[in-house]
Amino acid sequence: MEISEILNHIGEEPENYFNAVAPPIMQTSNFYFDTVQEMRCAIQNEFDESTYTRGKNPTVAILRKKLAALEGAEDALVLASGCAAISSSIIANVKSGDHIICVQSPYGWTTSLLTKLLPRFGVETTFVDGSKTENFESAIQKNTSVIYLESPNSFTFELQDLKAIASLAKSKNIITIIDNSYSTPLHQNPLKFGIDIVVHTASKYLSGHSDVVAGVICGSNQTIRKIFASEFMTLGGIVSPFDAWLMIRGLRTLSIRLERSTQSAMKVMDFLENHPKVEKIFYPFHPSNPQINLAKKQMNSGNGMFTVIFKCESRERMEAFCNTLKVFRMAVSWGGHESLIAPVVSFTEEHEYSDLPWNMIRFYVGLDEPDLLNKDLEQALSPL
């Protein structure tokens, strides 16, 4: 199925809502029934029947179909945040006494889940360098139930060999979960390599307008029904119908936004590549990346985000550089129209990225003209 068909048509039935071009926002918490039998059947099958919006909402259902189709999955769930998607997918596949293997330095709240929350319930985690598949094999214990991946991660962009790890995990009956937020389904489809569950922070490229916080879980119908029946319905971390509608709107332009962001980022990296104040660029498809062949093997492309280490004498000058930028704004997250920086120098000792060098900055290139961004960088780099 063509990407444009998924983004613009799949899951939609205009004839059921007055032939409206945009699907309606079913902003309701409740649904009524004409007979006791209808209500009884719906309560017994909340996955497929609209009973209460915590279970199935028609607007959210349209979005679920689109997201599942994009990832090549049988079904998907949409939750209130990326954290909710990560937590629900992991908790659904562990029990007291189990063991998890996770890549080093994952997203900060993933780390918090694995090191602070789950140990309270007897679940332990081993963190490994994910660049070598043998590190996962060496870490497997008799009680290992989940391998958690981020490929690439969203700051220094280390990758894992998805096909090899998926094969290893299946031979040991271990569930594999990956955060695919950086690549989006347009640039990487982990399920094709044998990964079991794909999660996304949908607040990034998928929604694309910096006005939604949401998360996504994609997988087989059996996997999604299992999570729905327990963690999804019990914890109740659902997305609102309005936010689901905003995401449907955002998906319409996903292809062109992602293409524009990626192309512009390449031009900004070209400018920085030869600047005397730049020490190193981190990007999955950058020639200096030792994993570039793996990136080409399992990704269709990079995107609009990369990281730079600058040659800088002091934290004060690094801060001054960041403060001098006028077009690039300082903020967390990424994936919207705005171009952003996330400087390591702004992180505290307790922050997830505090172990990175203070002269490192993550750049996200949005929909600004690259020439404008390069001029902004040039004026800020002069006194660095």
pLDDT in tens, 100-150: 999 998 998 999 999 999 999 999 999 999 999 999 999 999 999 999 999
pLDDT mean across residues, the chain:
95
Q: How far is CA 123 from CA 117, 229, 336, 379, in A?
A: 9, 21, 36, 51
Q: What is the reported pLDDT for 356?
A: 87
Calpha distance 239→223 (Å, rounded): 19
List the CATH number of the domain containing 118. Answer: 3.40.640.10
**Bridge partners, residue 363, by sequence:** 306, 341
Q: What is the reported pLDDT for 347?
A: 85
Q: Which of 201, 228, 251 is the last residue of a domain?
A: 251
Tokens of 305: 């985000």
List the CATH number of the domain containing 345. Answer: 3.90.1150.10
Q: What is the mean pLDDT of residues 47-67?
A: 96
For 253-262, write each residue's pLDDT tens digit: 999 999 999 9
**108 & 238 share domain:** yes
Taking residue 238's Cβ as centre, other Cβ atoms within 10 Å add up to 21
Q: What is the mean pLDDT of residues 320-338?
A: 96
Q: Which residues contact 311 (CB under 8 A, 6 or more apart)?
A: 276, 277, 278, 279, 359
Taking residue 37's Cβ as centre, other Cβ atoms within 10 Å add up to 9
**54 & 122 share domain:** yes
pLDDT value at 353 more than 70: no
Instruction: Give the confidence band of 178 by pLDDT, cuts at 50, 70, 90.
Output: very high
Calpha distance 367→319 (Å, rounded): 25
Instruction: Provide the sign of the torsion angle of the four alpha carbons 159, 161, 167, 169, taken in this order.
Output: negative
* Contact assessment for residue 293 and residue 245, using Cβ atoms and an 8 Å cutoff: no
* Residue indicated by tokens 């001054």: 320
**183 & 298 share domain:** no
Q: What is the mean pLDDT of residues 158-171?
A: 98
Q: What is the reported pLDDT for 345?
A: 92
**264 & 214 share domain:** no
DSSP code of residue 193: G
* Contact assessment for residue 226 and residue 197, using Cβ atoms and an 8 Å cutoff: no
Residue 360 — φ and ψ, nearest 5°? Answer: -105, 135
Judged by DSSP in three states, 61 sits in helix
Strand order in the sheet with 144-150: 75-79, 215-219, 197-201, 175-179, 144-150, 99-103, 124-128
Tokens of 201: 């922070």
**34 & 167 share domain:** yes
Q: Which H or E run contains 100?
A: strand 99-103
Q: What is the reported pLDDT for 79?
A: 98
Taking residue 218's Cβ as centre, other Cβ atoms within 10 Å add up to 30
pLDDT value at 288 more than 70: yes
Q: Which of 206, 233, 251 is the last residue of a domain?
A: 251
**237 & 259 share domain:** no
Percent of the chain with pLDDT over 90: 94
* Contact assessment for residue 182 and residue 303, using Cβ atoms and an 8 Å cutoff: yes
Q: What is the reported pLDDT for 50?
A: 94
pLDDT value at 280 more than 80: yes
**307 & 184 share domain:** no
* pTM for the whole structure: 0.95
Q: What is the reported pLDDT for 349?
A: 66
**192 & 122 share domain:** yes
**156 & 301 share domain:** no
Judged by DSSP in three states, 33 sits in coil
Overall domain count for the chain: 2
Calpha distance 348→351 (Å, rounded): 5
**192 & 261 share domain:** no
Calpha distance 347→353 (Å, rounded): 7
Judged by DSSP in three states, 126 sits in strand
Q: What is the reported pLDDT for 354?
A: 65
Domain that holds residue 361: 255-381
Q: Which of 204, 226, 251 is the last residue of a domain?
A: 251
**121 & 206 share domain:** yes
**194 & 85 share domain:** yes
Percent of the chain with pLDDT over 70: 98
Judged by DSSP in three states, 205 sits in coil
